[in-house]
Structure 1
Amino acid sequence: MSDASAGPAELLEDLRGFCGFGQRTQTDTADGIPYFVNEYWTSAQRKSHPIHEISYRACFKAQLPEFFIQRMTGSGGAVLDPFMGRGTTPVQAGLMGRRALGNDINPLSAMLTRPRLRAVTLDDITRALGTVDWKRGEITRTDLLAFYHPATLERIEALRQWIARRAPPDGPAPDAATDWIRMVALNRLSGHSPGFFSGRSMPPNQAVSVATQEKINARLGITPPERDVAELILRKSASLLRNGPAPEADHALSTGPAWEIPLPDACVDLVVTSPPFLDIVRYADDNWLRCWFAGIDVRSVAIDQHRTEAAWTAMVTRVLAEMARLLRPGSIVAFEVGEVRRGKILLERAVWQAAEGLPFNRLGVMVNAQNFTKTANCWGVENGAKGTNTNRIVLLRRE
Structure 2
Amino acid sequence: MLFAFARRTISNSSDHASDSAFLEQDLLAFDAFGAPTRRVEEEGVVYLVNEFWTSAQRQAHSIHEISYRACFKPQLPEFFISRLTAPGDAVFDPFMGRGTTPVQAALQGRRPVGSDINPLSVLLTRPRLSPPSLPEIERRLSEIAREEGEIEREDLLVFYHPETLRRLCALRRRLLERASGSAPDPVDDWIRMVAINRLTGHSPGFFSVYSLPPNQAVSVEAQAKINARRGQMPPPRDVAALILRKSRALLADGAPPPHPPALLATSEAWRAPFLGEGEVRLIVTSPPFLDVVHYASDNWLRNWFAGVEASEVRISKHRSEAEWERMVRACLEEFARIVAPGGHVAFEVGEVRGGKVLLERLVWRAAEGLPFERLFVLVNSQSFTKTSNCWGVGNNAKGTNSNRVVILRRV
Same fold (TM over 0.5): yes
Residue of structure 2 aligned with 1:187, choices 190, 193, 197: 197
Structure 2's unaligned 5+ residue stretches are 11-18, 385-394
Residue 101 of structure 1 and its aligned partner are, at CA, apart by: 0.3
User: Partner of 1:130: helix, strand, or coil?
Assistant: helix
1:223 aligns with 2:225: no
Letter of the aligned partner of 2:37 in structure 1?
T
**What's the counterpart of residue 259 of structure 1?**
270
**Aligned equivalents of 1:334 and 1:111: distance in 2?**
24
Q: How does 1:98-109 map to 2 (within 5 A)?
A: 98-109=110-121
Preserved contact between residue 63 and residue 255 of structure 2 (Cα < 8 Å): no
Equivalent residue number for residue 379 of structure 1 = none
CA RMSD in angstroms, aligned pairs only: 2.0
- Structure 1 counterpart of 2:47, from 21, 35, 52: 35
Shift of 1:134: 4.1
Give percent identity, aligned residues only. 61
TM-score, with length taken from structure 2: 0.90
Q: State whether residues 131 and 190 of structure 2, in contact with CA within 8 Å, keep that contact through their aligned partners in structure 1.
A: no
Dislocated runs of 4+, deviation >4 Å: none
How far off is 1:369 after superposition? 0.7
- Other structure's SS at 1:332 match: strand
* Residue 380 (structure 1) aligns with: none
Question: Post-superposition shift, 1:245?
Answer: 3.5
1:1-399 to structure 2, matched below 5 A, reads: 5-6=7-8, 7=10, 8-9=19-20, 10-44=22-56, 47-132=59-144, 134-168=146-180, 172-247=182-257, 249=259, 250-261=261-272, 262-371=274-383, 389-399=401-411
Q: Which runs of 5+ in 1 are unaligned?
A: 373-382
Maintained 8 Å contact 1:43/1:370? no
Between 1:119-128 and 1:276-285, the stretch displaced more is 119-128
Q: Is the 8 A contact 2:375 2:409 kept in 1?
A: yes
The separation in 1 between residues aligned to 2:327 and 2:48, in whole angstroms, is 26
* 1:180-206 Cα shifts (integer Å, max 9, x gaps): 000000000000000000000012212
- Contact 1:82/1:273 (CA < 8 Å) preserved in 2? yes
Amino acid paired to 1:205: N
Q: Which secondary structure state, in structure 2, belongs to the residue aligned with residue 272 of structure 1?
A: strand
State the Cα distance separating 1:132 from its structure 2 match.
2.5
Q: Kindly indicate whether the alpha-carbon contact (under 8 Å) linking 1:145 and 1:153 is maintained by their aligned counterparts in 2.
A: yes
Rounded to whole Å, the distance in 2 between the matches of 1:45 and 1:279 is 32
Please tell me whether the aligned partners of residues 339 and 390 of structure 1 are also in contact (alpha carbons under 8 angstroms). Answer: no
Q: How many residues align?
A: 385
The SS at the match of 2:56 is: coil
Specify the alignment match of 1:378 in structure 2.
Answer: none
- For the residue of structure 2 that corresponds to 1:74, the secondary structure is coil
When normalised by structure 1's length, the TM-score is 0.92
Q: Which letter maps to 1:56?
A: Y
CA distance in structure 1 between the partners assigned to 2:226 and 2:86 by the alignment: 50
